[in-house]
Structure 1
Amino acid sequence: MSKNRIITLLTDFGLSDVYVGVMKGAIAQINPQLKVIDITHQIPSQNIAAGRFCLMTAFAYFPPETVHIAVVDPGVGSNRRGIAVKCANCLLVGPDNGLFSGVLSRESAIAAVELTNPQYWRIPEPSSTFHGRDIFAAAGAHLANGVALEELGRAVRAASLVQLQIPNCAVTGTGAVGCVQYVDRYGNLITNIPNDCIIGNNWSVTITNSPDTICIPSGKTYSDSKPGDLIAIVGSDGWLEIAVNSGSAQSVLQLQVGDKVEIIYIDCV
């Protein structure tokens, strides 16, 4: 019996080619009644870290048992595994390359399988360059249609799933140390320092990836700084981020994913 779960799609395919459309066509061939929601298709090309962050940010806004198909897959056609994972509040389908490690830092994997059963692929001999269409879209649609996870392939240990390696956030005696985990389209530098690491209002952020240490004052909104000035705030998803009022913090600071960021509980002087 059809479950008619929601399916989401997150990819780095962009919107100028046919790739997203044909994935939706592959889903519709299995059940045209399934509801498909696009999270984004503008993940920077082959940027697994950005896909990890965006899926981690988005998944909690969908109903339980939503099937999230994510494809940022520079290793397509190689020996990297295609997987499906069942969590308490969602199902995940895509490459086993760390793309799901953000979600899995918040949701424990109940079960996981490698997608080895061609009965639930679009075709028995899938393209070596488009598993999003031939394996992931089909497997996700079958899951949404009520097929049991274990039917899709052989079981794998949740502990064996690939984890994307980015520096952890750590509390220090003077604040906290973390790193940039995502750069959004505005150039805001979103760190992996959560708001529960921030105590009170008397804090600033230091950047040491330049010849001089840069001290950035904190605020509650982007407009708490003058146009063109740096400011550190807690963003809508609870992470410390560094911004420039009416500008790009990434352009100013030239920081990349993984670069160090530190909170200190003193005023900038």
Structure 2
Amino acid sequence: MAEPSWISLTTDYGLTDGFVAACHGVIGRLAPQARVIDVTHLIPPADVRRGAAVLAQTVPYLPWGVHVAVVDPGVGTRRRGIAVATEGGLLVGPDNGLLVEAAEALGGIDRVVELSSPGWLAPQVSRTFHGRDVFAPVAARLATGSPLADAGPAVDPADLVRLTPPTVRVTAGVLTAEISIVDQFGNVQLAAEGGLLDPLPDTVVVAGHVAVRGRTFADANPGALVVYVDSADRVAVAVNGGRAVDLLAVRVGDLLTVTGGWG
């Protein structure tokens, strides 16, 4: 296994407080040679499903390293802190389903440990800031080559918390799928894999709105809807020059229907 020299951070901490800087500071003190990539700190607060989707869609494009994710509404409870080894990198964060999809995107889970070795954590661990006191110091030690097994006891991967799979249904003539991400441009990503668009005709109906099936935004007229396969190989809906989320009046977690193409 290659020694990681990169650490990525994905959190719901926002940018108005010092939480992100504190995590950077802990990493800088313990692993000054490690390079840190901030994936995002703008995951909606406590939105574990959104954090899991963003993490899973991003980590395959990052350098081999340690990927810290903290969207942790159960901080301070009996939920475990874990580190997960995969072929494509290491993942560190809470055992609340946040890391599993990313682990699968990196080649699958090889090993899991519970983060409980005192020497790996801050001398005093806050009940409400495990990003600073647990996950950042663990990531720093892993990035400097400390063995994963020293971080704590092994955990059976089958015992990890997993999120309920998002809804995706294909019935006669209708694709129904849960909205997984709305990006800053207002594009609406569904949980459905891109291949489900293959049988569709050139014109479809999305939640009662006529849309074209295209490959990019400009395949629709200005202000019109386009259904396409996005960069994460998911079915997505956009408005050429506008915001699909506003036109459709939807939000993450809603079910969206795309009609046409299946007999």
TM-score of the alignment, normalized to the shorter chain, above 0.5: yes
SS in structure 2 opposite 1:181? strand
The equivalent residue for 1:57 is 57
Q: Which residue of 2 aligns with 1:261?
A: 256
Q: CA RMSD in A?
A: 2.2
Alignment of 1:122-141 (within 5 A): 122-123=122-123, 125-141=124-140
TM-score (norm 2): 0.90
Offset at residue 150 of structure 1 (A)? 1.3
Counterpart of 2:18 in structure 1 is 18
Contact preservation (8 Å) 2:66, 2:143: yes
2:235 to 240, 248, 251: 240
Match of 1:113 in 2: 113
Structure 2 partner of 1:229 = 224
User: Which residue of structure 2 aligns with residue 148 of structure 1?
Assistant: 147
Q: CA deviation at 1:252?
A: 1.9
Amino acid corresponding to residue 94 of structure 1 in structure 2: G
- Corresponding residue number in structure 1 for 2:69: 70
Identity %: 38
Deviation, 1:214, is 3.7
* Alpha-carbon distance between aligned partners in 1 of 2:112 and 2:204, rounded to the nearest angstrom: 40
Matching residue's letter, 2:48: I
Unaligned runs of 5+ residues in structure 1 are none
Structure-2 separation of matches of 1:44 and 1:204 = 34
- Runs of at least 5 residues in structure 2 that lack an aligned partner in the other structure: none
Conservation of the 8 A alpha-carbon contact between 1:46 and 1:74: yes
- Which structure 2 residues correspond to residues 3-42 of structure 1 after superposition, within 5 A? 3-42=3-42
Q: Whole-Å Cα distance in 2 between the matches of residues 236 and 167 of structure 1?
A: 19
TM-aligned CA deviation for residue 160 of structure 1: 1.4
State the SS of the aligned residue for 2:78. coil
* Pairing 1:178-257 to 2, within 5 Å after superposition: 178-199=177-198, 202-203=201-202, 205-208=204-207, 213-257=208-252
Match of 1:98 in 2: 97
Q: Which residue identity is paired with 1:192?
A: A
- 1:62 Cα deviation after fit: 1.9
> SS in structure 2 opposite 1:59?
helix
Cα distance in structure 2, aligned partners of 1:251 and 1:117: 48
Structure 1 residue 262: Cα displacement:
3.8
TM-score, normalised relative to structure 1: 0.88
Flag the 1:255–1:147 CA change in 2: closer, same or farther, 3 A. Answer: same
TM superposition shift of 1:163: 1.3
Paired amino acid for 1:247:
G
**Matches of 1:111 and 1:93, distance apart in 2:** 12
The answer for the alignment partner of 2:156 in structure 1 is: 157
